[in-house]
Structures are given as structure tokens and as C-alpha cells.
């Protein structure tokens, strides 16, 4: 089922397809902008066997570095810092004395975004970029092209699990705190929300992560991610050992397609968004692509923007694509090609805007399998036998004493997963207050990140929550 889902994702974003400063990137038709922003690197933890050039993470900061409060946001599975390129600028502009940091995990350094940047800056066409990343796979005459990484040369990434992610994030939060001069709030989307919930429980040389924070934010994701999204948490030592053995025998990268091309979803998604951003009303010849699944083919020609919306919108996108669903609108009743009609909280141009951002893009090309294994074992927030085998340090659940906010959509709200996990977290800890926003009937998984800011239920509820935090510095 997962392989099928991601095959459809790859094909869907193929429809729309035929370090520069982020602030120089074009804005969307809705006037979105990154605002005051900067990008910088933060030293990560040292991992045995890992080249030192990869022991770092990147951060995109929105707002003034002089703001006394910092909201650190962590992306989800197969996701990158650009996922926060709408909500980050909005929060920095609308919450007094707040700056927002979007983290790009260390594997982001493995991506080659050179031709994407050229396409965005107008020095290469979308077709040239497509040929560079994907066209060469089917056309041997294309000799200058992207060189995928060889898994055999990156086995050290088998260690890039939760301990490494927590260590890297701890360094980011340490820099943000600046010796206690700044108040830090930690949040994340999907699996990033799970990381934000796990961090307070983590033991950093005898100090609980909760002591670094003034609040926890879960955007359709929290510590119960594995069970809340239909998975089964890993709790036993034999299960953990089996997962590690399987990892060590294969590739370090998550390859849900199973084609030996773990990186391919990144270029597909970003190339599709670039085409929709630059030529939104042009007809998409790729609608006739013979390998495109029938469920993604309207019976009439559509524009690049229209095909992008058709693939992402919950009313037309297959159920297997719930991870990328939004409530956007529909194709027009007439026209050739038919354009997209916005009729939901998330305009299609916002999808194109976020998914075309580089550097620090929206998709994690080389997501480490070890991180998924470890998060599954940490979802109970308890030091289980599996957690011991995997080297997890979940020691401070009962001491966590910071307020928490979560919002759940149709995906995270399945069986009330996000809300129930958050309430369980509160019962087992000292969390003084919990705010749960339930949008499972009207929002899909990406709506909290991509919806129009003025109508975004996440932004409209998290802003007053942040401002009322007891430790917030006004």
C-alpha cells in the first residue's frame, strides 16, 4: 500500500513538470513572501564514521534575530524546512517579539539543488531541469545529469536516528536559547511533531529536554504518531534488533517505491511545483504521460496549476495520497485547458509556492530509515526494551511541565489519534495545560501548513496560545 501511494505521488507531481538567497525567490499570486529571513548552519553532534561536513544542520530564520522568543519548527517524514515557508513568516510578523526557526535535518546536505535553483532563477528551463534530474533515466542521450548517491558509500547514515536528531536539535535549541537570553518553543509537523514531543522527555547528560522549553506545538503529529497514524509502536528488544538487522543489510535511505531510487520523490515534487509556479495556466502535455495512473487523469486538458490541484485536493486525489491532501478547490467546469478554481482554505498557488522553494527545500531526498525506526520505538515515551536496544534516552516523561498545543486533521485525527496521544502525554506528565484543536472534518494533513494565513485555523489558534504562554517574553 505504501509503495502504491508513493508511486501515485511521484506520478501526480510529474503532471506539472514538463546558495541563492531565499528572500530573492518570487512570491506567489497570493502575495506570499518570506519576509525578513536568513539561513545559517548549526554544528551537529559528532557521529562516528560520518564525515565532519555532514555533522551539521541548516536553519532558516524568519523575523528579527533580536526577538526574545524563538519558535523552532521540525519538518516531517520526507519533508524539509520549506514546509514552513508560509506559517513561519506569518508567525514572525503577527506574534510580537517572536522569531521562527525552521530546521533542515542533516541529510539535507546530501541534495543537489543546483539545476532547481537555475530553473527558479530563469537561467534554465523547466524542461532542462527535468532532463537533468529525471529525463536521463529514460533517455540515454542525456549525458549531463544528476548523479544519485550510492548507498554503499553512505552506510554511516544507518546511525542517523533519533539520538542523532535529538542531539542536532539540542544544538539548535541551545543556540536559540543563547544562554537563557531567549525563550524557546518547540514544534513540528507530522513526524516533526513527534520529535517535538519526544525532545522534552529526552535525557541530555542528566538534564531533561523539557527544561529548555516554554511550550510544545504538534501540527498533526505528536508522540503517539506511530499508533495514531495506524502503525504499531516497536516495544520489544527482538523487534528492535530485527529492524536494525534489516537496515544494516540494505540501504540507509527510506525507499518507499522500492525501485532503488530513494531520492526521486524530491525532484519530482519540486519540478512539478516549479512548472505550476512559472507557467500556471499553460497546458500540461504530461497529462498524456502513458504511465500516469488513471485516477489522476481528468477526461479533459487541464493547466499546470489545475493538474497540481487535482492531484493534491482531497476531493479528487486518491485516498492513498492522504499524506499530501489539502482542501483547495476544483477544476473549472469549462475551458481548454481547464484552470483550477480555489474553493477551500488552501489555494493551489500556495502549494506551488511552498513546493518550489530552494535552498532548504520542502522535500527530504534522502530520509534516513533509522529515524523512522527510532520514532516508532519512542512513541510511548517510555524506556522500553526496544528503546534500550536502539540507544534511546526517554527518561523524563514524568517531569515534563510545559504547556502543549496540538491540532489534528483528517489524517492525524483518524481514531482521534493526535488528540488521544496528547491527552495521554498530559496524564503521564506534569503538563499544566493542553490545547487541542480538532479539524479532522474540514482539514487535511497539509492544510495547517499551506492554507491562506488569514483563514488558517492553525495560525489563528496558535497565535493567541503562544502569546499567553506563562514564560513568553512580551
Please write the tens of the pLDDT for every residue from 134-178. 888 888 999 999 999 999 999 999 999 999 999 999 999 999 999
- How does residue 393 score in pLDDT terms, banded at 50, 70 and 90? very high
Pick 32-112+148-261+365-467's CATH classification: 3.40.640.10, 3.40.605.10, 3.40.50.1820, 3.40.30.20.
3.40.50.1820
More confident residue, 337 or 139: 337
Cβ atoms of 271 and 284 closer than 8 Å: no
For residue 363, the cross-strand partners are: 79
Mean of pLDDT values over 403-425:
94
Query: What pLDDT score was predicted for residue 9?
Result: 39
Residue 288 burial by CB count (10 A; 0-12/13-18/19+): exposed, middle or buried?
Answer: exposed
Q: Is the model's pLDDT at 362 over the cut of 80?
A: yes
Please write the tens of the pLDDT for every residue from 44-98. 999 999 999 999 999 999 999 999 999 999 999 999 999 999 999 999 999 999 9
Query: What pLDDT score was predicted for residue 231?
Result: 54
Q: What is the dihedral of CA 136, 142, 144, 149, to 10 degrees?
A: 20
Of the chain, the percentage scoring pLDDT greater than 90 comes to 75
Query: What pLDDT score was predicted for residue 296?
Result: 75
What letters, b where the CB count within 10 A reaches 16 and e where it falls short, cover 411-426?
A: bbbeebbbbbbbbbbb
Q: Can you give the residue ranges of every domain in the chain?
A: 32-112+148-261+365-467, 115-146+264-355
Mean of pLDDT values over 3-19:
40
The 69-74 sheet, strands edge to edge: 37-43, 56-62, 98-104, 69-74, 183-189, 215-219, 404-408, 434-438
Task: Write down the pTM of the prediction.
Answer: 0.93
Please write the tens of the pLDDT for every residue from 275-296. 899 889 988 756 665 545 678 7
CA–CA gap between residue 275 and residue 305 (Å, rounded): 8
CA–CA gap between residue 364 and residue 368 (Å, rounded): 9
- How does residue 372 score in pLDDT terms, banded at 50, 70 and 90? very high
- Between the two ends of the chain, the Cα-to-Cα distance in Å is 48
Amino acid at each position: 500500500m505504501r509503495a502504491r501511494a508513493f508511486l501515485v505521488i511521484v506520478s501526480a507531481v510529474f503532471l506539472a513538470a514538463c546558495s541563492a538567497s531565499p528572500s530573492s525567490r518570487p512570491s506567489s499570486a497570493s502575495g506570499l513572501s518570506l519576509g525578513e529571513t536568513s539561513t545559517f548552519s548549526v554544528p551537529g553532534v559528532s557521529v562516528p564514521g560520518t564525515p565532519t561536513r555532514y555533522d551539521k544542520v541548516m536553519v532558516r530564520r524568519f523575523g528579527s534575530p533580536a526577538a526574545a522568543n524563538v519558535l523552532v519548527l521540525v519538518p516531517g517524514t520526507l519533508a524539509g524546512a520549506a514546509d514552513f515557508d508560509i506559517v513561519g513568516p506569518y508567525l514572525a510578523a503577527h506574534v510580537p517579539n517572536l522569531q521562527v526557526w525552521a530546521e533542515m535535518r542533516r541529510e539535507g546536505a546530501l541534495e543537489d539543488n543546483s539545476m532547481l535553483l537555475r530553473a527558479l532563477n530563469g537561467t534554465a528551463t523547466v524542461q532542462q531541469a527535468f532532463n537533468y534530474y529525471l529525463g536521463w533515466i529514460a533517455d540515454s542521450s542525456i549525458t549531463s545529469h544528476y548523479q544519485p548517491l550510492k548507498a554503499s558509500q553512505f552506510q554511516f547514515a544507518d546511525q542517523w536516528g533519533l539520538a542523532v536528531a535529538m542531539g542536532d536539535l539540542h544544538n539548535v535549541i541551545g543556540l536559540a536559547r543563547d544562554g537563557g537570553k531567549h525563550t524557546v518553543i518547540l514544534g513540528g509537523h507530522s513526524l516533526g511533531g513527534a520529535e517535538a514531543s519526544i525532545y522534552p522527555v529526552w535525557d541530555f547528560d542528566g538534564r531533561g529536554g523539557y527544561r529548555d522549553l516554554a511550550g510544545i506545538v504538534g501540527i498533526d503529529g505528536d508522540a503517539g504518531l506511530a499508533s495514531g497514524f495506524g502503525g504499531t509502536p516497536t516495544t520489544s528488544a527482538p523487534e528492535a534488533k530485527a529492524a536494525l538487522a534489516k537496515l544494516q543489510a540494505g540501504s540507509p535511505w527510506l525507499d518507499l517505491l522500492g525501485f532503488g531510487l530513494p531520492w526521486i520523490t524530491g525532484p519530482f515534487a519540486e519540478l512539478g511545483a516549479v512548472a505550476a509556479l512559472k507557467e500556471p495556466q499553460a497546458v500540461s502535455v504530461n497529462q498524456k504521460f502513458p504511465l500516469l495512473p488513471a485516477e489522476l487523469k481528468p477526461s479533459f486538458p487541464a493547466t499546470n496549476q489545475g493538474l497540481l490541484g487535482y492531484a493534491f485536493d482531497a476531493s479528487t486525489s486518491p485516498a492513498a495520497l492522504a499524506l499530501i491532501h489539502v482542501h483547495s478547490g476544483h477544476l473549472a467546469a469549462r475551458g481548454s485547458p481547464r484552470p483550477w478554481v480555489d474553493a477551500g482554505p488552501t489555494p493551489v498557488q500556495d502549494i506551488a509556492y511552498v513546493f518550489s522553494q530552494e535552498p532548504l527545500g520542502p522535500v527530504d531526498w534522502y530520509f534516513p530509515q533509522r529515524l523512522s525506526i527510532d520514532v516508532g520505538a519512542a512513541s510511548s515515551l517510555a524506556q522500553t526494551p526496544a528503546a534500550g536496544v536502539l540507544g534511546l534516552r526517554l527518561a523524563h516523561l514524568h517531569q515534563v511541565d510545559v504547556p502543549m498545543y496540538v491540532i489534528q486533521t483528517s489524517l492525524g485525527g483518524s481514531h482521534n489519534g493526535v488528540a488521544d496521544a496528547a491527552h495521554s502525554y498530559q496524564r503521564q506528565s506534569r503538563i499544566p495545560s493542553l490545547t487541542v484543536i480538532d479539524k479532522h472534518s474540514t482539514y487535511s494533513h497539509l492544510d495547517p501548513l499551506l492554507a491562506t494565513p488569514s483563514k488558517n485555523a492553525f495560525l489563528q489558534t496558535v497565535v493567541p496560545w503562544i502569546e499567553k504562554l506563562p514564560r513568553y517574553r512580551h
